[in-house]
Structure 1
Amino acid sequence: MNVLKTLLAGAVLAASAAGANAATYYADKVISSELGDCYSNAGLPMGCAGSRSKTANALGAADGLFYSMGFGGTLVVGFAQSLFDAANDVSAFEITYDRAKGHDEAVDVYSVLGGVETYLGRLLNNVASSSVRAKTAFEYIKLVDVTGEEFPNTNSNDGFDVDSISVAAVPLPAAGLMLLAGLGGLAALRRRKTAA
């Protein structure tokens, strides 16, 4: 009987630890996009560079290829999982090689469910990866370049540069299950002492 209890307790602990892992989903399709404005170093309007205007560069895991949104540009992406529940971290990997020289960029992040957009927060290119928390269910993630609004004196010519967009579920703490298992073990010990 003790062996069975030990095996059962071990199975509960293993299951609770396994529940703490969360899958990460990377954007795998572009739902819509609108390229914003790009400028020359002299501040004159010009077309965005061809190699930087491929929306497919924003799909998948970070690989160094990127999509420059242009000032005011938008990008809506989908994922292999069609619907996410609440409590997910949404990350956008931004590529900037020239940040120290005033190459500041920013993007607003929205979750989209049934055509309704919910503002999640603003990401800046001050770190290699930034994330915001989605507190409601969503189907898609929408990015809107706000570089000109956030940094009016930026040296950026083509707005936020997206290498990758990911969603990672925030795992529920496994501590609750482990606490229950521990309390059950203490109760069993107390019962054992009382019987003796």
Structure 2
Amino acid sequence: MTRTVFGLLTGAALALGGATASATTWQWQDDFPGGASSFADRVAYTWIDYDTFSGSGAPCVSLNDMLGPPDAAGGDCNGYASIGEDGVAVLEFTDNRLVGDGDISSPDLAVFEGGHIPEAYWVWIAETFDPSDPLNMSDWTFVGRQPGSDEDNWDAFAGYLDIDWATGGATDRRFRYVMLWDDPEAEAFDQGPHAGIDIDAVGAINSTVVPLPAGGVLLLAGLGALAALRRRPR
């Protein structure tokens, strides 16, 4: 019975807390103190020019492959999503927020690419996002451009960015959204099924957990009381 109650508690916590943690390991996992919960959980918006996908094979546009920890493997369309030349993707953290650490010498955000060759893109962050006006740039803070690579450089598949230089070193701002915009002027692959940046994962190295809503806290308290009652000797 104790196992059953523990399962209820765990299930409730995961359901209320957002995306479930994954047992998947990745090369850079030590960089993320928050573990699997550090990574983006939802695709909030995309703009994809499907005309840029040509050649053999279907476009690599399974959007959920952008979410969770990095898991891209070798080959086409294997664990990542391509957004086409000049494409845009907005990813959302639902159970955590990206924060700065006040140190411009250390990265706060990481973008992982899949595919064959890492490609160039710009990065913005925002605390709020209006899906009716997604490219209203007054809502966004620019944090950098990743240059990509002209060769299969493993290290270049992970783009590390500091946000403190762009936020004035503020540590009290909570960023919920990250926007990636493909740079069409620096395309390694501007055609084919994986045109544009190939997004595997977006992770908050410095992250804060979103508190459970009041109802969730009460539910967990109730389940905790139930567990205590079931442990009482009869």
Partner SS state of residue 57, structure 1? helix
Q: Give the distance between the partners of 1:128 and 1:84, measured in 2 at CA.
A: 21
Q: Give the distance between the partners of 2:112 and 2:98, measured in 1 at CA.
A: 20
**Is the aligned partner of 1:74 residue 2:88?**
yes
Give runs of aligned pairs for residues 46-57 of structure 1, distance below 5 A. Answer: 49-50=58-59, 52-57=60-65
Q: Is the 2:189–2:196 contact (alpha carbons within 8 Å) kept by the matching residues of 1?
A: no
Residue in structure 2 matched with residue 34 of structure 1 by the alignment: 47
1:44-63, Cα deviation, whole Å (9 max, x unpaired):
xx9x934x111101001111
**Is the aligned partner of 1:149 residue 2:160?**
no
Q: Give the distance between the partners of 2:161 and 2:53, measured in 1 at CA.
A: 29
Q: Give the distance between the partners of 1:155 and 1:67, measured in 2 at CA.
A: 14
Q: Give the distance between the partners of 2:146 and 2:70, measured in 1 at CA.
A: 17
User: Which protein has the bigger strand share?
Assistant: 1
Residue in structure 2 matched with residue 112 of structure 1 by the alignment: 126
Q: Give the distance between the partners of 1:63 and 1:109, measured in 2 at CA.
A: 21
Instruction: Give the C-alpha shift of residue 105 in structure 1.
Output: 1.9
Q: Is the 2:40–2:91 contact (alpha carbons within 8 Å) kept by the matching residues of 1?
A: yes
Residue in structure 2 matched with residue 139 of structure 1 by the alignment: 176
**Bigger Rg over Cα:** 1
Instruction: Give the C-alpha shift of residue 84 in structure 1.
Output: 3.2
Q: Is the 1:35–1:53 contact (alpha carbons within 8 Å) kept by the matching residues of 2?
A: no
For these two proteins, the number of residue pairs brought into alignment is: 136
TM score, norm. by length of structure 1:
0.61
Give runs of aligned pairs for residues 115-126 of structure 1, distance below 5 A. Answer: 115=129, 116-126=139-149
Instruction: Give the C-alpha shift of residue 95 in structure 1.
Output: 1.5
Q: Give the distance between the partners of 2:85 and 2:115, measured in 1 at CA.
A: 15
Residue in structure 2 matched with residue 59 of structure 1 by the alignment: 67
Partner SS state of residue 140, structure 2? strand
Q: Give the distance between the partners of 2:148 and 2:114, measured in 1 at CA.
A: 8
Residue in structure 1 matched with residue 203 of structure 2 by the alignment: 166
1:105-136, Cα deviation, whole Å (9 max, x unpaired):
21101001234101110113331211111223
- Runs of 5+ unmatched residues, structure 2: 1-31, 73-78, 102-106, 130-138, 150-155, 168-172, 208-234
Partner SS state of residue 131, structure 1? strand
Question: For residue 71 of structure 2, what is the amino acid of its counterpart?
Answer: D
Q: Give the distance between the partners of 2:71 and 2:98, measured in 1 at CA.
A: 24
- Runs of 5+ unmatched residues, structure 1: 1-20, 171-196
Residue in structure 2 matched with residue 3 of structure 1 by the alignment: none
Worse-matched range after superposition: 78-87 or 53-62: 78-87
> Cα RMSD between the aligned structures?
2.5
Q: Is the 2:111–2:159 contact (alpha carbons within 8 Å) kept by the matching residues of 1?
A: yes
